[in-house]
Amino acid sequence: MGEPVTAYSLLFDHVATRIDAERAHDLGFRAVRAGAPLTGRLPRPGRPVEAMGLSFPNVLGVAAGFDKNAVGIDALAALGFGHVEVGTVTGEGQPGNPKPRLFRLPADRAVVNRMGFNNDGAEVVARRLAARAAGLPDGGPEPRPVLGVNIGKTKVVPDDDQAAVEADYAKSTRLLAPHADYLVVNVSSPNTPGLRNLQAVEKLQPLLEHVRRTADTVTSRRVPLVVKIAPDLADDDVLAVADMALTIGLDGIIATNTTTSRAGLASPDAEVEAIGDGGLSGRPVRERALEVTRLLRGRLGSGTTIIGVGGITTPEDARERLAAGADLLQGYSAFVYEGPLWPRRVLAGTGSPVTPG
């Protein structure tokens, strides 16, 4: 079943696609924040979901990459998202890769990015999160969104220096874990040189153990720890990550990040080649992300949370991912293509009716 034709989709297809993708994202995000006083009055969609010892207002969240610097958490929640994952945040602020670095493939309902972890850095984001927390009212009729903080490697830190990598992630952890409902270690973006090498279990396990110890030293509560993996891992490597997660008591796995594959795209080859390198997200990732979810759930059993992301566009996609074993869902590319009403449509179609506000 295709997605419904809406005023937003017509506007996107005929106007937004004429604007540079990164500029369009920035303008759209500003509009989301400006509209928050109105959207925040709408009823909260969905039913609560328990995962990782946390209560999520509903099953659907915003994937990392949309709000890199934690500037629109509550505005995104006002659209209906039950959790918002900010970042990826690195230990040091960095400009990311040269522009242009964000591209659309409308024929595939896909996005290609090679942003390169552009962000303000852990110190600035931590101050921003502290200021947000201080300004939040106590109680209120609506549950607050669950806040995930996604951390990654600073580009200048060599991936083959394990001690330096651990120190870099530890800095982000010390600063950000106190503000996070859950913490994500991102080792799967294709846009930071060498980062995906850290997915090898012999490097990943000590890194996660170090982050776990660091988080425990700076928080009085146990902050759930999650790892985000790539769809390009071989099946055996996916299962090895699952085994490692069970060994160290990891709270969850996000399946999956973007892919470097360009197989099976409907977009013309010349258009794809002109864009060049970067991580592909959106509809083309759906099948592999679904496969990885099934692999993980089969290996993990029921005790470890799986957050399903990648190509979830329709309510049918969402139901399929949940049936495959995901406990929670996230979106990015479909949100870009389908607009601000998309989270409510997906939640309504997954058997999660709107709860009176």
DSSP string over 242-275: HHHHHHHT--EEEE---B---TT--S-HHHHHHH
189 is catalytic: yes
How high is the pLDDT of residue 221?
95
Pick the CATH number of 7-352 from 1.10.510.10, 4.10.80.400, 3.20.20.70, 3.40.50.1820: 3.20.20.70
How high is the pLDDT of residue 19?
86
Contact at 8 Å (CB) between 305 and 328?
A: yes
Residue 94 burial (CB count, 10 A): 17
- DSSP structural state of residue 208: H
How high is the pLDDT of residue 139?
56
- Average pLDDT of span 93-114: 96
Distance between CA 305 and CA 318 in Å, rounded? Answer: 16
Say whether 333 counts as a known binding-site residue. yes
Contact at 8 Å (CB) between 58 and 45?
A: yes
Say whether 217 counts as a known binding-site residue. no
How high is the pLDDT of residue 196?
81
pLDDT tens digits for range 178-197: 999 999 999 887 768 777 88
Confidence grade of residue 10 (pLDDT, cut at 50, 70, 90)? low
Which residues have C-beta within 8 Å of that of residue 74, sequence separation ≥ 6? 36, 40, 132, 145
User: Mean pLDDT of all residues in the chain?
Assistant: 91
Say whether 115 counts as a known binding-site residue. yes
Confidence grade of residue 354 (pLDDT, cut at 50, 70, 90)? very low
Could you state, in order of their start, the residue ranges of all structural domains in the chain? Answer: 7-352
Distance between CA 150 and CA 135 in Å, rounded? Answer: 22
More confident: 286 or 136: 286
Whether 12 shows a pLDDT value over 60: the answer reads no
How high is the pLDDT of residue 356?
34
Pick from 323, 309, 310, 319: nearest CA to 345: 319
Burial 232-264 (b: 16+ CB within 10 A, else e): bbeeeebbbbbebbeeeebbbbbbbbbbeebee
Longest distance between any two alpha carbons in the chain, whole Å: 54
- Name which of 98-112, 121-135, 139-153 the model is least confident about: 139-153
List 188, 189, 281, 352, catalytic entry: 189
- For the CA atoms of 198, 255, 333, 148, the dihedral, rounded to the nearest 10 degrees, stands at -80
pLDDT tens digits for range 249-264: 999 999 999 999 999 9
How high is the pLDDT of residue 352?
53
- Average pLDDT of span 95-115: 96
Say whether 116 counts as a known binding-site residue. yes
Say whether 99 counts as a known binding-site residue. no
How high is the pLDDT of residue 190?
76
User: Where in 145-215 does DSSP place strands (E)?
Assistant: 146-152, 182-186
Say whether 65 counts as a known binding-site residue. yes
Whether 238 shows a pLDDT value over 60: the answer reads yes
Confidence grade of residue 202 (pLDDT, cut at 50, 70, 90)? confident
More confident: 45 or 271: 271
Say whether 114 counts as a known binding-site residue. yes
Residue type, 306: I
Say whether 186 counts as a known binding-site residue. yes
Whether 295 shows a pLDDT value over 90: the answer reads yes
- Average pLDDT of span 19-42: 90
How high is the pLDDT of residue 353?
43
Say whether 257 counts as a known binding-site residue. yes
pLDDT tens digits for range 297-347: 999 999 999 999 999 999 999 999 999 999 999 999 999 999 999 999 999
Confidence grade of residue 269 (pLDDT, cut at 50, 70, 90)? very high
Whether 351 shows a pLDDT value over 80: the answer reads no
How high is the pLDDT of residue 42?
87
Say whether 67 counts as a known binding-site residue. yes
Q: How many residues does the chain have?
A: 357
Distance between CA 312 and CA 163 in Å, rounded? Answer: 37
pLDDT tens digits for range 212-226: 999 999 999 999 999
Q: pLDDT exceeding 70 applies to what percent of the chain? A: 92
What is the bridge-based pairing of β-strands 110-113 and 279-282?
A: antiparallel
How high is the pLDDT of residue 138?
66
How high is the pLDDT of residue 45?
87
Pick from 235, 184, 33, 25: nearest CA to 112: 25
